[in-house]
Amino acid sequence: MNFRKQHSTMHQAGFNITPLIDILLVLIIFFILTWNFSRDEKELALKLPSATQGQDSKPRPGEIILNVMPDGVVVLNRRNLDLASLQELLANVSKEFPDQAVILRADKSVAYKHVVAVLDTCRAASIYNVAFATAKDQEP
Per-residue pLDDT, 36: 61
80-105: pLDDT as tens digits: 899 999 999 999 999 998 888 888 88
Residue 49 burial by Cβ neighbours in a 10 Å radius (0-12, 13-18, 19+): middle
Domains and CATH numbers, the chain: 42-136 (3.30.420.270)
Model pTM score: 0.63
Kindly give, in sequence order, each residue whose CB lies less than 8 Å from that of residue 50, ignoring residues fewer than 6 positions away. Answer: 134, 135, 136, 137, 138
